[in-house]
Amino acid sequence: MTDKTRALITGGAQGIGYACAEALIEDGFDVILCDINAEGVASAAKDLNALAALPCDMGDTAQIKAMFDQIAADQGPIHALVNNAGVAMPGDFLTYELADFERVIDINLKGVFLATQLAARVMVDNKIEGAIVNMSSINAQVAIPAIPAYCASKGGVMQLTKVAALALAKHSIRVNAVGPGSIDTEMMAGVNANPEAFKVAMSRTPLGRAGDACEIGDVVAFLCSKKASYITGETIYVDGGRLGLNYTC
């Protein structure tokens, strides 16, 4: 990698996004972080010596477009995009608020589409053989009734990844996704704090432990690298074996 190889990571202030930044920096990328948490992303960028920290609500199309314009003006074209930002917003299916459903879809799916489209345009215009990695979930394949919008959005990300990969293959832009299982992040904090809930989660995880965010970051970095040069349109599940399990103890 040269010092002009840039990667944009959304939701980069903490957790999986932060771990992705660490892994990509280790691989030689200059990293640009964005997050809705302006203070948090600034702190993360300082800790990582990242190229830039940009506050952005990935559910707001105007903010996403403005962010890409700012990156083009200040840092130049990006070579990799990691669409990591996402929310869950759990609730009972029968009383689930439409506004909550729309908010999850806006961030987890619509924002991913727009960022992918804008990044791909930059890559095509600059003749960059780029890589885009979307954060899906095992909930693209299996469902939890308390997170209807999240499950729908991650299923959409899986399909969007395939569509984008096919559309962009002629430009030598690869598009893949990563589907985490139970990863020890803030999103899993409630499960970790409840011994019974944690026991249930581990009963459906053959490796018997929660994953670490760095284990997702390493797979993302692989997909952004030349080592994955013939992989596109795929979702790689990093789930401790969960999707292969057809029973729980």
**Residues belonging to the active site:** 150
In contact, 183 and 16? CB cutoff 8 Å: yes
Q: Exposed (0-12), middle (13-18) or buried (19+): which is 215, by Cβ within 10 Å?
A: middle
- Torsion, Cα 139 231 114 12, to 10 degrees, reads 70
Q: How far apart are CA 28 and CA 71, in angstroms?
A: 19
Write the CB contacts of 156 (distance below 8 Å, at least 6 apart in sequence).
105, 108, 109
In contact, 122 and 95? CB cutoff 8 Å: no
In contact, 157 and 109? CB cutoff 8 Å: yes
Identity of residue 198: F
